Amino acid sequence: MADDGTDESVESAEAEQKPDREPEPETEDSEPADAGMSARPRLSQVRLAALAGAAVVVVLAAATGWLGFRAVQTHLADEKRQMFLDAGRQAALALTNVDWEHADDDVARVLDSASGQFYDDFERRSQSYLAVVKQAKSKSVGTITGSALVSASDTDARVMVAVTVNSSNAGVADRTRYWRMVLTMQQNPGAPKVSNVDFIQ
């Protein structure tokens, strides 16, 4: 009877020492628990790098487009200023080159380059001007010695022109005069035209 009690005590002690589950053997396919956690940060860094690269591309494309637009606008503005300057020079030449032998054509050329108040004033005085030129057998030859754009906008501009004028009349010695004039040019269909002329001493 005593032996039975002893055996039961030994078996009970062994049962307490024995673990509930035996540990599962590790296999080659098994990975550490933190493997997935370390992979996620790597993927996040790749995504951030890709987004940053895309943002840089967008910014560069926008900057390139803006610079191209500004270049076109600047080119167009330069062309318009040059157009005003050229038209002002041509108007100055028309005003200072008059020959009594073809004065009608010369006056018509002045009117073709004029507009606004200047056109109205010159047309009103053109017949008396022609009579004086023909009677005096007047001839003048103007040569531009300098020109500059004083101011300009989308619709008008002021052009300063320096001109040397050699003139001759019947019975009068030839003479040379130096003129400076500021021509107000206005945009018109086809080309700018002069709307006012101020002579500067």
Higher pLDDT, 151 or 35: 151
For the chain, list the domains and their CATH numbers: 65-200 (3.10.450.50)
Least confident of 15-24, 44-53, 88-97, 155-164: 15-24
Residue 2, pLDDT score: 47
pLDDT bracket for residue 49 (50, 70, 90):
confident
The answer to whether the predicted template modeling score (pTM) of the entire model surpasses 0.75 is no
* pLDDT of 183 above 60: yes
The percentage of the chain sitting over the pLDDT mark of 90, rounded to a whole number, equals 55
- Percentage of the chain beyond pLDDT 70 is 73
Q: What is the largest CA-CA distance in the chain?
A: 170
Cα separation, 98 vs 96, in Å, equals: 6
pLDDT tens-digit readout, 94-103: 999 999 999 9
For residue 130, the model assigns a pLDDT of 96
pLDDT value, residue 68: 72
